[in-house]
A and B are shown apart, each in its own frame.
Chain A
């Protein structure tokens, strides 16, 4: 994994500390060309990996990447699935079974043999595989070396104790997509405990990691202790605490932590992107000097 990964929240009106800013972003990135332009700015600073939700609009971006293989040579995307909002309303309206019928490709109960049989036999792992395949459709022909489960699903399964489903997800993306599985979570220490108990060693876990403990369940100390004493490949997100922490301080904090393999951030403007990359490079090199 590359040290710096470019995220997509800014493109899809996701802002964890301001609903107002999120709506302004929705206007700014109305056109796909604005997204591509920002991705290119990020690439110019050396960020060659885009970590993104399986939002419908990403299909337009992957189309451009597929059609310009030379320009996007060696470009990588880390899909994060699913884009949960589209399922959430369907579950409230129709229940779980009804929502599955809405979203699994083909006629779930009819023509699609695997789906129909899986549903009737309550073969949950096959249903999971079908859903993964549905989300992965838009990435056909794209290099996707790591495939992530979104935090709402990871954490739901974690809380329910359905760790076997997380293990099955990992096995499936390895087998079918020749990719590693990653897990996004707001509960890093708890997730690591449960994954290790099921025999998963050195997992890729993407979690909020910042100096103010924002969205870090159990608190900063528990996170620091976990990173200091355990084996995992952590990806730090929400490093800026949604904008509450001064960027220099924020990147300094996260660059010093052990086992943080990559840092994920998204930004809309050229200035912010370049400055963030500069900070990370600066703090990484000073860490090397003192090592």
Chain B
């Protein structure tokens, strides 16, 4: 059994705690949060040791790994403190608020050969994995355009201040929501390298953006749009999609289905001329414990397998998340220039 700890028990931290708790190869030995209401519940109903000071937890427990699920502004120091104690780290997204700090962490993890991963869970959704495979096999020919989109009902009325209303804490739609889409574009199509224009809109929030519309050019020279709005209550929950246009067809993909249109049949891929619709039921990664989506368990399984097998991961490493952070910084800077 390997031993794990969690810092920050908000929505994501508690979800991770349940997934880790149900994992047959892991013992959740310690949790840390500033809320005594939450910590007392853990000490009353679970076997995990509870802490309000994460450094105490890191020093007093013998941890193989730690999951950091605190607001983004704390990621840097907490991750650094864990890595310096030779503890493997899974950190929630976005990775860091500052490129240089993120770079330092990625280097530190590499230098110490520690497993490092960031919680961009969409990469563990079967439909997006299938989209990546189809594009790799050149199914729609030379690419001509893409749209990366996400909509959802996070901020749907004007309300008081929380960490989400502070841009310096990574609270806006661009950092929190659009980062998922940028990360998918980066991994599935090609990393963005140039921002051609950006509109940031505050709809209900004060001080941060609720929507971002941006024109991107990728390293493979493909250009396209990023369209993200978290103040859209016509969506029941976050809905993320990628549409990719090629000379031989187009593919529309979200977390539940993948729709492929081909001008001509592709016999090798067994795809007909015209529309082919496939569902997540064909592509979901099987998991031993399910909470809110296979992808949340699959990403933790992947992290834990890498620790057990002492194998550096290829998906969602600090280095890759840093690349996403860099693009987010470029988008924010571009918006300010306008």
Contacts and interface: CB of A to CB of B under 8 A. Distances in A.
Interface of A: 12-20, 22-23, 26, 85, 88-89, 91-97, 100, 119, 122, 124, 152, 155-162, 164-165, 186-187, 190, 212-215, 217-219, 241-244
Given A92-B10, A218-B288, A244-B279, A160 B18 contact: yes
Contact of A156 (B15, B40, B42, B237): B15
Q: Is the interface of B mostly helix, strand, loop or mixed?
A: mixed
A197 to B, nearest CB: 15
A15 B256 contact: yes
Contacts of A186: 290-291
A89 B154 contact: yes
A244 B10 contact: no
Given A156-B14, A158-B22, A215 B236 contact: no
Contacts of A241: 281
Given A19-B255, A161-B47, A244-B281, A26 B21 contact: no
Smallest CB-CB A-B distances: 10 pairs:
A159-B18, A186-B290, A244-B281, A17-B279, A159-B22, A162-B45, A93-B162, A217-B290, A91-B11, A159-B21
B236 A85 contact: yes
A96 B37 contact: yes
Given A95-B10, A161-B47, A18 B279 contact: yes
19 contacts: A13-B236, A19-B241, A19-B257, A20-B257, A92-B10, A92-B164, A96-B35, A96-B37, A97-B35, A122-B37, A122-B40, A155-B290, A158-B18, A160-B17, A160-B42, A162-B41, A214-B281, A217-B290, A242-B281
Given A152-B292, A160-B45, A219-B286, A243 B14 contact: no
B281 A17 contact: yes
A12 B236 contact: yes
Contact of A212 (B163, B236, B281): B281
Tell which of B14, B37, B288 has the most Cβ of chain A within 10 Å: B37
Nearest to A217: B290
Contacts of A85: 236-237
B38 interface: yes
B199 interface: no
A229 B22 CA distance: 23
Contacts of B332: none
A88 B236 CA distance: 12
A151 to B, nearest CB: 8
B46 interface: yes
Interface in B2-51: 9-11, 14-15, 17-22, 35-38, 40-42, 44-47
Tell which of A17, A100, A122 has the most Cβ of chain B within 10 Å: A17
Contacts of B41: 122, 124, 162
Q: Is the interface of A mostly helix, strand, loop or mixed?
A: helix
A19 B149 CA distance: 13
Contacts of A218: 288
B223 to A, nearest CB: 26
A162 B47 CA distance: 10
Nearest to B176: A92
A160 B6 CA distance: 12
Contacts of A119: 37
A13 B233 CA distance: 12
B164 A156 contact: no
A7 to B, nearest CB: 16
A156 B257 contact: no
Contact of A159 (B19, B153, B239): B19
Contacts of B289: 155, 159, 187, 190, 217
A14 to B, nearest CB: 7
Contact of B257 (A12, A18, A164, A190): A18
A199 B37 CA distance: 28
B206 to A, nearest CB: 14
Nearest to B291: A155
B284 interface: yes
B254 interface: yes
A19 B37 contact: no
Given A17-B280, A19-B255, A122-B41, A215 B290 contact: yes
Contact of B256 (A16, A88, A156, A219): A16
Nearest to A164: B45
B291 A152 contact: yes
A85 B239 CA distance: 14
Interface string B213-239: 000000000000000000000111101
B144 interface: no
B158 interface: no
B164 A17 contact: no
Given A92-B10, A218-B288, A242-B280, 6 more contacts: A13-B236, A18-B256, A91-B11, A156-B15, A159-B20, A217-B289
